[in-house]
Amino acid sequence: MDLDFDQLAKETFELSKSSDKKLVDEERERFNFWAVDEPEDPTPLEEDIFATDSMPLAPQGPGLVYRIEKGASTFCVRGFATENIEQTLLDIESGEVLTREKLRIKDELDYDTLNFFETGELALAQVIMDQLFNRRIPLDEDILCNLSDPGFSWWLSSDENGLEIFFKSHGLNRMDRFLRLGPIGDNAIACLRLNQVADFLRSQFAVNEFSCDDKSFKLLPVNSKNLGYQNFLELLVDGSFPYCIENFTNDNHGRTIYFFLKELAFLRAFWINLEEILEDLD
């Protein structure tokens, strides 16, 4: 039905000058009814990306866009860091060739395998990509790895006394005894940085024992219920980051520790995200 809103408005104006208030009110009501803005049908591009059956609304900030290639015993993450997740998804849907090649998208069905992860900072997205993308990672390291080939992941043991992280294999049946933190860091760099973190952690809670070498990291607090210790434990377990930059000294050492812990938290959070997706792919 084609409506001339200008004509309707003109007719209403003319009626408003008459003494028949009832007709004026009726005409105004008719005009208001037809003048309600109807939502436009989304374009096919918008409909594909933002439909609830396809993918949730994507953030407009920095993060990762990626796919998981899952094999019989390993998986690989393909993707890249981006300044704007939403725009990148729009580019992919519109057929942008280079973006599709990076993700190894061959047909429209592959679009359903896309995932995104928001980081808030492009640098954090690049750290995750450098550490975890384009590598063949075992699905079950207990099966594929042994004492001579310890695998990639860190393993966490924690109890009421404290925690210990093993950077390398610590026996078989690890999944039954430890929490797999994932391949979330270079062992040599982690050893150096965690030793630098010692003073900061001691400023957050009382420590009974602190040690770190290229094989493991051990931390025993005086009180494992202390909030400071629990914050650090949650960083490792859940990938949460409870600190702000003001918690650290205002120098290069303080900034280095801050960014190391933040990167570690986001790497852990992304690994948890991968595990959830891999479980859905089973």
**Confidence at residue 44, expressed as pLDDT on a 0 to 100 scale:** 39
HSE-CB at 9 with a 13 A cutoff on CA atoms is 4
**Confidence at residue 120, expressed as pLDDT on a 0 to 100 scale:** 94
In this structure, the number of other CB atoms found within 10 A of the CB of residue 79 comes to 25
Exposed, middle or buried, 174 (CB in 10 Å: 0-12/13-18/19+)?
A: buried
**Confidence at residue 171, expressed as pLDDT on a 0 to 100 scale:** 58
**Residue 149 CA from chain centroid, whole number:** 30
Contact (Cβ atoms closer than 8 angstroms) between residue 98 and residue 84: no
Contact (Cβ atoms closer than 8 angstroms) between residue 211 and residue 163: no
What residue segments make up the domains of the chain, in order of their start? 5-35, 44-132, 144-281
**Confidence at residue 252, expressed as pLDDT on a 0 to 100 scale:** 94
Q: What is the mean pLDDT of each run of 10 residues along the chain (282 residues)?
A: 50 50 50 41 41 62 93 90 92 76 69 87 96 89 57 88 85 70 92 96 97 94 97 97 94 95 98 93 74
